[in-house]
Amino acid sequence: MLETAREPDISAPRPTPMMEQYIEIKAANPDSLLFYRMGDFYEMFFNDAEIASRALGITLTKRGKHLGEDIPMCGVPVHAANDYLQKLISLGHRVAVCEQTEDPAEAKKRGGKSVVRRDVVRLVTPGTLTEETLLEAGRNNFLAAIARARGVGADGGDRLAIAWIDISTGDFRLAETEPLRLGADLARIDPREILVPDSFFADEALGPFFRGLPTPVTPLPGAFFDGSTAAARLAAYFKVGTLDGLGSFTRIELSAAAAALAYVEKTQISERPPLSRPIRESEGAVMLVDAATRANLELVRTLSGERRGSLLAAIDRTVTGPGSRLLAERLASPSTDPALIDRRLDAVAFMVAEGGLRTKVREVLSAAPDLARALSRLSLNRGGPRDLAAIRFGLDAASRLVAMLSAADAELADDLADAVAALADAPRDLARELAGALADELPLLKRDGNFVRVGYDPDLDETRALRDESRQVIAGLQGAYATETEIKALKIRHNNVLGYFIEVPQQHGERLLGAEFAGRYIHRQTMAGAMRFITTELAELEAKIASAGDRSLAIELAIFDALLGHVIAASEQIRSIGAALAAIDVASALAVLAEGENYCRPHVDRSLAFAIEGGRHPVVEQALRRDGGAAFVANASDLSAPGEGDAGLIWLITGPNMAGKSTFLRQNGLIAILAQIGAFVPATSAHIGIVDRLFSRVGAADDLARGRSTFMVEMVETAAILNQATNRSLVILDEIGRGTATFDGLSIAWAAIEHLHEVNRSRGLFATHYHELTALSQRLDRLENATVRVKEWNGDVVFLHEIVPGAADRSYGIQVAKLAGLPASVVARARDVLSHLEETDRKSPAATLIDDLPLFAAAVAKQASVAPAVEDPVGPALDGLNPDEMTPREALEALYRLKAVRAQKA
């Protein structure tokens, strides 16, 4: 568990004023590490320092004493704070950033020992990050809040609502759900932090669920989720009189949304993120894919947690961060609306057909920045000149794409036409203003200055000239005075006493004191052989030179604020443009994928069809090509409902390990997902009726943290499938029941198939090594047997990776063991044991094998010496038969002869 910071004991002797201030601020933020700003460092004290030094690997030092003991201290430089924040947040810590809110000069006016005022300006938590260095470009950073309404479900059960916000992009979504579906919804949203009422942890059902999540869960007081004030809180945030203009939301959805907004306001203190108006997701709008299925299919991450090797990594050809996020979002939430899917497929098809245009579009997109995140940082006053430049370049990219796509020879697909319309609404005046104001080379922080282009503001140019070219300015003024007075020996000099002054020879000085220049040159000092003067102009210039650096920065900051105001005023347009750029990026990227990998456009409708020809696994196929292996073997599958039936087929697949069963299972699930995100699929043709829920239980692993064995995990996942699958679902099951005793496992698998067939009525793929299950096809009319073709050659097995109708009669486990490299003696012994087991099973299936099957060859010999030999009555006759060369009639006759031989011996 993460350490929590202890509040220092503040009893007894009074601490120093600075430490007193620290203790006061820390007491107001007990659950966060306090980054206390002191000059160029964020310092931490007491237990915070001990925690941070261990977490960050930095030196723990001391600063003075408190209550007679040394005060532990450590610190991080302000300029490198983001790197340290990233590490602390990844470890699950929260950080309160405390800044100086007063100029030190002002503090001195209150007395020499006055402490500069400080206050917490922001709470940094996993779900409220905005800094570019703390975020993944291709992943949303969602904060989710969950509210509950008791007993309002159709069945009298509880209902839940989820609100999720990404303050780095402004995305804001709402949806209702139910306890049984909560895990699947959280898996697709993939939040970085979850907010729940603190009462959830005491709930018998929800408490264990939330305590077992890998995502940080933050409990909040129930007042955050108060439904009676939720509508008013949302209306106040979006500055509207009523929520009618935002949409129609249920009370529980408003409760979750208000809690999320309240937490955002709490963590951002005085800043207000520019959130888009909340979008409500209707129930059933997306394919439900639970957490176990996402893990089994490795949609966005592999089982080891890496992006490489996942489906997302295999299909992502986007060239922008927003495009990658949009693709990941679609992959997490495949649509169940055929019309929306067709619109997306039309956009991909357009980009496939217009290859030359697509290349030009992607060149423009590759230079387009992340508008949404730049806008968010600027709105939260965390942005800099480069964020303003990002807005400028994003608007430029929008204008260029409008010109390109509007000039296309073919008619634009509807999705692309909508995107072009959004891009055409770009505020061009703002783009021109930013282009004229911003220099070509920009600093990261606005406080560094020099980000305004020369020539944009005359006052700034003059001030910079004073700052950077004071010698030239003074020389120019000296020349002007020399010309005016006709004194060639006139010089402007400087010392620490007089500052800048005019110096002339003694004989010329008397003239400057005369009526000709009365009041113009003011006498300051007479020296031996020289006189010194100043002018009002020179005094003003001196003051300007002395403050030129501060004045130039102040002017630049004022320009920054003015530009920022223009950007904020156009935030809605900028956000729409960012979304349009992402949509174009995804369409063009999927077209590149389709063309490069030879994918086809799927036909998606509301039927119960599932017919795929030449299907391939997108990840495995690319891996084989990359590693120089054999070409991927494509396979067909057809689980379509027969005729006008209301239920699809179930394929029972048998065959040896390593033959490709699991790959075949997974590829069908991945093809369904790709089709429903609006992508072309790895097949020669595909007709897919909408899949409302996808379930996949492939592979096995224990869950030691929850005290679950491998078999228990398998049963929990299987139970979830059998309790939730519908006739529109696609169910993929691999080796159900293999984790327990043979007859127990066979019985469970048998019953599960019957339940899927009769109750769930789902389309399904069921792989098994229980060959006995193939007999079920004789009485379950929608169960069909399929197997993986293999060939034996000189005692070895050759996997052909082809799925064909029929059933396997062997598992070839020993051959697979041999391929894996088991010692030859072990393989040979395994063959002997298998032969004995098969013989025993033929003679007496109910025999106790422990008594009949010795473990070692020596034991076999010993048993043979004490046990009478049993003559095999039909063995010699069987040895003379070759079934492969016999006709059916000859086989039947041979069978009768064998029966007669056995009768005679008996």
Poorest-confidence range of 157-166, 774-783, 857-866?
Answer: 857-866
pLDDT tens track for 66-90: 777 888 999 999 888 888 998 998 8
What is the structure's pLDDT at 855?
40
Query: Residue 215 carries which DSSP code?
Result: S
Q: Cα(691)–Cα(763) distance, rounded to whole angstroms?
A: 9
Q: Cα(256)–Cα(238) distance, rounded to whole angstroms?
A: 16
pLDDT bracket for residue 125 (50, 70, 90): very high
CATH number corresponding to 17-124: 3.40.1170.10
Strand stretches in 263-307, DSSP E: 279-280, 288-289
Residue reference for tokens 């995502």: 215
Poorest-confidence range of 356-360, 582-586, 822-826?
Answer: 822-826
Choices 3.30.420.110, 2.40.50.100, 3.40.50.300, 3.65.10.10: CATH for 137-283: 3.30.420.110
pLDDT bracket for residue 270 (50, 70, 90): confident
Highest mean pLDDT among 37-46, 124-133, 211-220, 673-682 belongs to 673-682
Residues whose CB falls within 8 Å of the CB of residue 323, separated by 6 or more in sequence, listed in order = 365, 581, 582, 584, 585, 586, 589
Residues making up the binding site for ATP: 655-662
Residue 799 has pLDDT above 80, yes or no: no
CA distance readout (Å), 836 to 794, 831, 840, 902 = 22, 9, 6, 21
Contact 34, 76 (CB under 8 A): no
**Extents of the domains making up the chain:** 17-124, 137-283, 341-427+570-596, 458-557, 598-817, 839-905
Please state, as a whole number, how many other Cβ atoms lie within 10 Å of the Cβ of residue 888.
7
Query: Residue 169 carries which DSSP code?
Result: T
CA distance readout (Å), 453 to 397, 468, 586, 844 = 21, 15, 35, 94
What is the structure's pLDDT at 838?
67
pLDDT bracket for residue 394 (50, 70, 90): very high
Contact 463, 557 (CB under 8 A): no
Residue 827 has pLDDT above 90, yes or no: no
CA distance readout (Å), 322 to 207, 330, 584 = 35, 12, 10
pLDDT bracket for residue 866 (50, 70, 90): very low
CATH topology identical between 341-427+570-596 and 458-557: yes
Poorest-confidence range of 103-107, 148-152, 530-534?
Answer: 103-107
* CA within 13 Å, CB half, 476: 9
Sign, CA torsion 101/104/109/114: positive
Residue 248 burial by Cβ neighbours in a 10 Å radius (0-12, 13-18, 19+):
exposed
Residue 16 has pLDDT above 60, yes or no: yes
pLDDT tens track for 131-149: 888 888 889 999 999 999 8
Kind of pairing, strands 118-124 and 159-166? unpaired
Domain spanning 458-557: which CATH class is it, in words?
A: mainly alpha
What is the structure's pLDDT at 709?
67
Could you tell me the fold of the domain covering 598-817?
Answer: Rossmann fold (3.40.50)
pLDDT tens track for 560-610: 999 999 999 999 999 999 999 999 999 999 999 999 999 999 999 999 999
Mean pLDDT of the region 233-254: 88
Rg of the chain, C-alpha, whole Å: 38
Q: Cα(536)–Cα(703) distance, rounded to whole angstroms?
A: 83
Tell which wins on pLDDT, 552 or 871.
Answer: 552
Q: Residue 773's closest CA among 659, 650, 666?
A: 650
pLDDT bracket for residue 795 (50, 70, 90): low
pLDDT bracket for residue 869 (50, 70, 90): very low
Residue 429 has pLDDT above 50, yes or no: yes
Choices 3.60.10.10, 1.10.1420.10, 3.40.50.300, 1.10.260.40: CATH for 341-427+570-596: 1.10.1420.10
pLDDT bracket for residue 815 (50, 70, 90): low
Residue 286 has pLDDT above 90, yes or no: yes
What is the structure's pLDDT at 741?
64
pTM of the model: 0.81
Residue reference for tokens 């003003």: 540
What is the structure's pLDDT at 126?
92
pLDDT tens track for 435-463: 999 999 999 888 888 999 999 999 999 88
Kind of pairing, strands 610-615 and 635-638? antiparallel
Give the three-class secondary structure for 809. Answer: coil
Rounded to 5 degrees, φ, ψ at 70 are -60, 145
Residues making up the binding site: 655-662
